[in-house]
Amino acid sequence: MIHWKETAEVLARLDELAGAGRRAALATVVRIAGSAYRRPGAKLLVEEGGGALGGVSGGCLEADVREVAQAVLATGKPTLRHYNTGSDEDVVWGLGLGCNGLVDVLVQPATDGPLAALAGRWRELLAGDAPFAVLTTVAEGEELGAVRLVAPGERLPALPLMGGAGVHELAGRAVFVEPFAPPPHLLVCGAGDDAIPLVAYAADAGFRVTVADHRPALLEPGRFPRAARLLPARPEEPDVALPSAARTLAVVKTHSLAHDRAWVRRLLAAGLAYVGVLGPRERTRGILRDIGAEGDERVFGPVGLDLGADGPWQVATSIVAELLAFGARREPRHLSLRDEAIHAGEGDLARPS
């Protein structure tokens, strides 16, 4: 889901640059092997004047990629860069980083050429809520950097568009297939002051956040600038349109037992797979007893991971961490205790069911 958010931010900046008559190049990770900080689809927008937005690594490749991007702007021709981040004895491009990974990065003009021609439609699709894909030719030759969109409703035979991004052979050419699954929604029931950091952190993590509350005075845009939607609503109002249950997680925190109880009842009836409830364990158990939902494993209360959090900002961190773990179908633990690759067996946050 962070892929959707970051791409939207990069394309928004690209639109600003194009409108101002300024040039930029776009670097995209198209293939990795071994250890890599970013996944295929990660992007770095490099402006002609030196500004940049995004990233293709943890910082180890960016300096070289920026130089390559300036050369691409000078020639107008895309290039595919191959990086080996292994030991000093196995170095490509003079980078001995010790990260033990291979990374291919496509760098192409962004304010003119094939990418610029479809950037507007790409932004429109990212503003929507339907899956789509972008196909970019990465075979060396005249067609390097050719781009097309597979819009919602279109089909590409024998290719799982909603799988992970990667290079496939299509019609005899190497093509980077970049699927975009719309981000999951987070419904925050309760607009108190402690909801402010939760909404900010969740939006930064890539969720589309809706804040619902029966008190309109709390739903001021200035309090929740990162929220996608501010919804004046009471849980018992049947006509209130909530985000799709199949792609929504919820956190209930109105600080009113009656309202929390009503929200939990409605959200469980709607079929949400995750309903987090703020407050002590016995309070949540009481709510479930009252609504006849004792033992419902979709309810997480107290909400959040056990991080020793204290105060609204740390509690928000623990909640977002639990949301990410739930969406990725991961049991939270220290990465140092994980034997397999960090990104192995990733879940799909866009489909929390």
Domain range annotation of the chain:
1-182, 185-336
Mean pLDDT of 93-105: 65
Res. 99 pLDDT band, cuts 50 70 90: low
Nearest Cα to 41, choosing from 50, 52, 54, 53? 54
Confidence (pLDDT) at 269: 96
Superfamily classification of domain 185-336: NAD(P)-binding Rossmann-like Domain (3.40.50.720)
pLDDT in tens, 240-297: 899 999 999 999 999 999 999 999 999 999 999 999 999 999 999 999 999 999 999 9
Confidence (pLDDT) at 238: 87
Confidence (pLDDT) at 98: 45
Label each residue of 63-128 as H, E or C. Answer: HHHHHHHHHHHHHCCCEEEEEECCCCCCCECCECCCCCEEEEEEEEECCCCHHHHHHHHHHHHHCC
Confidence (pLDDT) at 91: 42
pLDDT in tens, 188-227: 999 999 999 999 999 999 999 999 999 999 999 999 999 9
Cβ(285)–Cβ(294) below 8 Å? yes
Average of per-residue pLDDT values in the chain: 89
pTM of the full predicted structure?
A: 0.84
